[in-house]
C-alpha cells in the first residue's frame, strides 16, 4: 500500500517550514492593478455549483462583445494556485478570463471533497462556457480554454465534445489517465496497476463501512534527504509561501491530495483518444524542456490534428510554468488567443 501511494505522490503533484524558491519571477499570488475581479457561481450539468473568479480589463466597454478564456488549475489544486495568475495576465491583454475551481475542489461543490471524477471535471469547463455565453459582454463565438497540468487533459476531454471552445491551450499538461495507468515514462508494470486498483477498491469498501477517508499524498507535508526530486518540486510550490493555499472551509493545506478510493477512475480516462477530432480548431501545447511531464504534451501534439503547435520552454521544469513569470511564455499565449479569438 505504502509503495503505491508513494508512486502516486510522484505523479499527482507539506505546511512544513521551508524556504520557497522565488527565483525566475515566481509570483503565484500576483494581483494586477489593471483588471477587476469578481466571484461568480454557476451550475454544471450535474446541478453542482461551480465557483470561479471572473477577471476583466479595467475600463472595458461592457456594451461591446469580448473574447473570453476559461482557465483550469493543476490537478488537486485550486484556482488560487496558478490559475488566477494566468487569468490576470491574459485579462491584462484584453480578454475576459474565468479561473474556476473544479468540482470537489476549492469553493466548488462536490461531496466528499477531493473526489476524482474526470467526467465531471470536463463538464465544469463546458459549464463555464455556458456561463460565459450568457453574459452580455461576451462574444459566445469567441471563447477559448486553457488547462494547466491535469486540467490540460480535462480541457482536451471537454473540447472533443464541445465545439464552442474555439481555441485550446495546455501548459505543463498531465494526461491523468496515462499517468495513473502507466506511470511516468511507462514505468508501472501491469501488476503495479492492478495492485493500485485493488488498494483503491479496498479503501472504497472501508469508507462504505464508515472508515475514515484516505488521501493519496500528491504532495507530501514534509521533506527530508530521501525525498525524490519530483516531490521536492511540488513541495516548493504547494507547501511553502510560494504557492501554498488553504481553501476556505479546510483546516489545512490539503490541495493535491485526492481520495485514494476514487483514484481508480483515472484508469478509464483516455483524453487523447480522438484528439484529432478537435481539428480544425487550433491547439497549443506548452511544456518545459526539463519538465518530467513533457512526454504528455509531446504525445498529445503528435496525435492532434492541424493546426497545432508545441512550444518547449528552455530551462523550465513542470512546476516552473505554474508561476515563474520570467519563464512562462505569456506573449505566446496572448498571440495564440488573439489570432484565434477575434
Strand order in the sheet with 283-288: 35-43, 49-57, 96-100, 66-72, 138-148, 165-171, 283-288, 308-313
C-alpha distances in angstroms, 183 versus 94, 179, 300, 301, 322? 39, 5, 16, 19, 22
In a domain, 249, yes or no: no
Question: What is the DSSP code (8-state) at residue 215?
Answer: B
56, 96 contact by CB (below 8 A): yes
Q: What is the pLDDT of residue 342?
A: 84
Q: What residues in the chain have per-residue pLDDT under 50?
A: 1-6, 10, 12-17
CA–CA dist 187, 311 (Å, integer): 25
Residue 31 falls inside a structural domain: yes
> In this structure, is residue 58 part of a structural domain?
yes
What per-residue confidence (pLDDT) applies to 19? 76
Full DSSP string of 292-324 = TTHHHHHHHHHHSPSSEEEEEETT--TTHHHHB
Structure confidence at residue 8 (pLDDT): 55
Domain carrying residue 53: 27-188+262-340
CATH number at residue 145: 3.40.50.1820
Residue 36 phi, psi (nearest 5): -105, 155
Q: How many domains does the chain have?
A: 1
Per-residue model confidence (pLDDT) at position 17: 42
The model's pLDDT over 117-141, given as tens digits with 9 standing for 90+, comes to 999 999 999 999 999 999 999 999 9
Does residue 14 sit within a domain? no
Q: What count of Cα atoms within 13 Å lies in the side-chain half-sphere of residue 225?
A: 0
SS3 content of the chain, % helix, strand, coil (to 5): 35, 20, 45
Instruction: Give a yes or no: residue 227 inside a domain.
Output: no
Residue 123 lies in a domain: yes
Residue 109 and residue 248 in contact, taking contact as beta carbons nearer than 8 Å: no
| HSE (side-chain half, CA atoms, 13 Å) at 64 | 11
90 lies in some domain: yes
pLDDT for 18: 56
Write the pLDDT tens digit of every residue in 25-45. 999 999 999 999 999 999 999
Cis peptide before 315 (omega within 30 of 0): no
C-alpha grid cell for residue 67? 473574447
Q: 76 and 105 in contact (C-beta within 8 Å)?
A: yes
Asked, for residue 282, whether it belongs to a domain, the answer is: yes
Cell 500576483 locates to 30
Amino acid at each position: 500500500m505504502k509503495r503505491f501511494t508513494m508512486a502516486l505522490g510522484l505523479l499527482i503533484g507539506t505546511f512544513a517550514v521551508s524556504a520557497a524558491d522565488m527565483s525566475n519571477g515566481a509570483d503565484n499570488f500576483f494581483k494586477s492593478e489593471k483588471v477587476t475581479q469578481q466571484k461568480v457561481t454557476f451550475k454544471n450539468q450535474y446541478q453542482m455549483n461551480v465557483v470561479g473568479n471572473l477577471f476583466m480589463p479595467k475600463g472595458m466597454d461592457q456594451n461591446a462583445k469580448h473574447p473570453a478564456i476559461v482557465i483550469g488549475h493543476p490537478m488537486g489544486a485550486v484556482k488560487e494556485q496558478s490559475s488566477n495568475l494566468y487569468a490576470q495576465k491574459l485579462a491584462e491583454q484584453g480578454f475576459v478570463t474565468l479561473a474556476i475551481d473544479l468540482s470537489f475542489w476549492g469553493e466548488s461543490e462536490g461531496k466528499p471533497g477531493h473526489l476524482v471524477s474526470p467526467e465531471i471535471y470536463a463538464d465544469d469547463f463546458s459549464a463555464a462556457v455556458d456561463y460565459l455565453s450568457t453574459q452580455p459582454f461576451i462574444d459566445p463565438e469567441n471563447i477559448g480554454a486553457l488547462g494547466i497540468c491535469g486540467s490540460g487533459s480535462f480541457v482536451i476531454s471537454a473540447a472533443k465534445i464541445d465545439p464552442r471552445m474555439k481555441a485550446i491551450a495546455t501548459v505543463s499538461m498531465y494526461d491523468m489517465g496515462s499517468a495513473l495507468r502507466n506511470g511516468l515514462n511507462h514505468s508501472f508494470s501491469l501488476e503495479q496497476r492492478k495492485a493500485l486498483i485493488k488498494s483503491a477498491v479496498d479503501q472504497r469498501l472501508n469508507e462504505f463501512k464508515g472508515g475514515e477517508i484516505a488521501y493519496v499524498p500528491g504532495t507530501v507535508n514534509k521533506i527530508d534527504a530521501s525525498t525524490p526530486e519530483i516531490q521536492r518540486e511540488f513541495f516548493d510550490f504547494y507547501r511553502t509561501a510560494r504557492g501554498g493555499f488553504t481553501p476556505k472551509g479546510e483546516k489545512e493545506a490539503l490541495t493535491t491530495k485526492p481520495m485514494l478510493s476514487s483514484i481508480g477512475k483515472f484508469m478509464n480516462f483516455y483524453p487523447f483518444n480522438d484528439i484529432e477530432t478537435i481539428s480544425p480548431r487550433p491547439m497549443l501545447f506548452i511544456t518545459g524542456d526539463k519538465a518530467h511531464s513533457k512526454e504528455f504534451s509531446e504525445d498529445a501534439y503528435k496525435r492532434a490534428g492541424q493546426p497545432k503547435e508545441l512550444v518547449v520552454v528552455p530551462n523550465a521544469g513542470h512546476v516552473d510554468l505554474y508561476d515563474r513569470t520570467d519563464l512562462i511564455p505569456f506573449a505566446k499565449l496572448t498571440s495564440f488567443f488573439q489570432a484565434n479569438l477575434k
